[in-house]
Amino acid sequence: MTIDAPSLSDAEIRRLVERLDRPIVLVGMMGVGKSTVGRKLAALLHLNFCDADDAIEEAAQMTVSEIFERFGEPYFRDGERRVIARLIDGGPAVIATGGGAFVQDDTRELILERGVAVWLDADVDTLLDRVRRKDTRPLLRDGDPREIVTRLKAERESAYAKAPIHVSSSGGPHGDTVTRIVQELDKWL
């Protein structure tokens, strides 16, 4: 994997990771790039990466869409909280969460208490551009994606804003976003 983070020396990265005693948890809207950015960030910091949605699918032996269809959203949220709790127990790592996870009070409290939450943010056009590449998101199936993304973003923003770190990922390469996350983590730690 190419890691485009020229402003960070190996020594700086080592010092940062030595101070990290908890997982970095990426939160924010669907399509913002949590998994792509998370993978790059983990590779740069030499940490494990986990995607909470993938872990939920593995535990349930079903896709996220199937879980929504067969059991409904509250059931999914409950499994999501339990899976995130298990991933957080694993210590320093990079965890990408699904867009609704940090909006649930219990899950947000868990993440705020035991991880360092990073809110990845982007404008609606960027989000739409990215969500259009995949049609597996159950919340986008019944309606106009622009209307749904705009509404969810507005409804969720106050929850996302509770993350101690906020980084914008609109436009520009994901490598730049990774660099900004590391700079913000360095200030926060």
Residue nearest to ligand S3P (CB): 98
Helix (H, G, I), strand (E, B) or coil at 108: helix
Cα separation, 172 vs 164, in Å, equals: 23
Judged by beta carbon, residue 30 or residue 47, the one nearer ligand S3P is 30
> What DSSP assignment string belongs to 56-89?
HHHHHTS-HHHHHHHH-HHHHHHHHHHHHHHHHT
Shortest distance in whole angstroms from residue 95 CB to ligand S3P: 12
Q: How many CB atoms lie within 10 A of CB 124?
A: 16
Shortest distance in whole angstroms from residue 187 CB to ligand S3P: 26
Beta bridge partners of residue 26, listed in sequence order? 96, 118
Judged by beta carbon, residue 149 or residue 185, the one nearer ligand S3P is 149
| Cβ(139)–Cβ(77) below 8 Å | no
Helix (H, G, I), strand (E, B) or coil at 45: helix
Judged by beta carbon, residue 12 or residue 58, the one nearer ligand S3P is 58
Shortest distance in whole angstroms from residue 9 CB to ligand S3P: 32
Shortest distance in whole angstroms from residue 106 CB to ligand S3P: 15
Judged by beta carbon, residue 53 or residue 185, the one nearer ligand S3P is 53
Instruction: Kindly state the DSSP code that residue 6 receives in the 8-state scheme.
Output: T
Which residues of this chain interact with ligand S3P, rule CB under 6 A? 30, 53, 64, 98-100, 137-139
Shortest distance in whole angstroms from residue 34 CB to ligand S3P: 6
- Encoding tokens for residue 166? 């906020």
Judged by beta carbon, residue 5 or residue 37, the one nearer ligand S3P is 37
